[in-house]
Structure formats: C-alpha cells, structure tokens
A = this chain, B = another copy of it.
C-alpha cells in the first residue's frame, strides 16, 4: 500500500494568524488531540519576535508542557539564529526556516531580500549547527505564485533553490503555494524537475492552500510528480498574514479523506482528527475552511448509505 506523510501545521501556521491569542492550555489540548489522531510530524509553534507575532510567544512553554512526544517530530519555525537557539534550548531540533522565492514577498514577510535570508541561513547553520544535529525544512514560500509578482519564473526559483541546497546536503524543501494560486500543471512540472534535479541531495514536501479551489488538484499534481509528504492544517486554519487574499491551508481532514479514498495510507484516524477539528473550530477568531468536516461522517469515505436509511 502506498503511504503518504501528512504534517499537521495548524498549531503554528493556523494559530499564528488568529487575531486573539490562544491560551497555552488550549494549544496543548489541541496538539494532544492531533497527536492522538496519529500525526507523526507537526509544527508546534515558532520562535520569532514576540512583538511581531505575539500568538507564538508561548511556544517554549507549549513545548515544555507537552513534554516528550514519542514517535512524533515536533517542528518549530525559526526566522534566524536567535530563534534557532531558543528552539534548541526548548528541545526542538526539527526546524522550519522560511525563505520566499519572491523578493517582494520575502521583503514583505521578513523585511529583507531573498538572498539575505539565504545568507542568514548559511551563517546560522555554521554558527549553531557545525555538527549537523539539526533537521532543516526550508519553507520555499511563493514557489509558484507571489501575491506581488504573480506567477514565478521556474528557472529563477530553481536557481535560488540550488543556492540554498549548496549550503548543505540533506535539506528538506517545502514547495509552498503560499497564495493558493498555483496551477496544477506548474506544480506537477516543477515538482518533477525538483525531485529529479535534487535527487540524493534534498527531499521535498508540498504545502498548499485552497484559496482558489485548486488545493486538492495541486496535491494530486505533486503526488503524481512523486511528492510523498504534504502539509495540512486541522479544520483548514491558516493563511499568510503577509500574502493578501491567501486563505486557509488545505484542511488536514481533506488530505486524509482524499488520500484514504485513493487507497494511500495516511496513518491518521479520521474520527480523532474530526474531534481535534472541533477544538480548532471553537477557537475565538478562528477562520476555518475545508470540506470534509461538513460531510456527514457515514458518507465521508465515499461509501454508500442504503436508500431506506438515507430517505
């Protein structure tokens, strides 16, 4: 049976744009519910400026309260070496470092050009991880489409990725459709090019949004290109505060349902995930999205319900 890895990003990517600050207790409960659903990889939070993103100021405390999560890789977003040091102190060595492929979006996101972010990554790794104990996922924001620049030039993005990959082997690249405006042919062609071109040097996942309704189409395109790792957010929470019009991440429930119906093993228990989704949906200020949550459970996996029962 084919398998797919689904990384739950709701506790970071989802909660960071909720205008209200979610209490630490609630975050811990949500993460525990998601762990119970079977996720083996999850974004737990970020170590960024508490002034810029107060929603994530308690990530260290969340991590401490959670304690060890056997068999689960807890990840944290870090924007620079200061954040990376804080993450390591909190016991997190799976880091997500975001670099926008579009200069405009990188400037909007972290107030510096893309090349400065790459240089910062290089310096940071040399400083804090000379022994290569960290696991790095590079979030390649606006891989396909930028809210400011439009459709991205594939050759330029690939060349930028080459410069990042040159920093060290073994990085994981997250091909990210930040705006949800990527087209499936673009996703499939570019994913294939990357998997071939970086074979043995880097691994890949796909991070999408369903803003324009292309979410599942793009997931399928990446899957067909050979990508076997995808991001989802419980209840379709999320978006990007620096990408106007970019709404929720692809809902984890939609990913699990879709892959299950494809006959692909996700390792996620949909019933427990739907329960976790109720916690997410009940958060003050949460904007949820996704489809599976609105489909009656007995029909969710595409089974029939006999006519006499359904009438």
List chain A positions with a Cβ less than 8 A from chain B: 104, 107-108, 145-151, 179, 181, 183-185, 210-217, 220, 244-245, 247, 251, 254, 257-258, 261-262, 290-292, 294-296, 299, 302-307, 310-311
Contacts and interface: CB of A to CB of B under 8 A. Distances in A.
Contact of A291 (B150, B212, B261, B299): B212
A147 B211 CA distance: 27
Contact of A185 (B254, B262, B290): B262
Given A212-B258, A245-B295, A245-B296, 19 more contacts: A108-B310, A146-B304, A147-B304, A151-B302, A181-B299, A183-B262, A183-B302, A184-B220, A210-B213, A211-B295, A212-B254, A212-B257, A213-B215, A213-B251, A214-B216, A216-B216, A217-B220, A244-B296, A245-B299
Contacts of A262: 183, 185
Nearest to A296: B245
Number of copies: 2
A237 to B, nearest CB: 15
A184 B220 CA distance: 9
Given A210-B213, A254-B213, A183 B261 contact: yes
Contact of A304 (B149, B210, B257): B149
A261 B185 CA distance: 11
Please name the 9 residue pairs, one residue from A and one from B, whose CB atoms are nearest each other, closest first.
A150-B304, A217-B217, A213-B291, A149-B304, A104-B307, A148-B307, A216-B217, A150-B303, A181-B302
A107 B307 contact: yes
A145 B302 contact: yes
A307 B103 CA distance: 10
A149 B307 CA distance: 8
Contacts of A251: 213
Contact of A299 (B107, B147, B299): B147
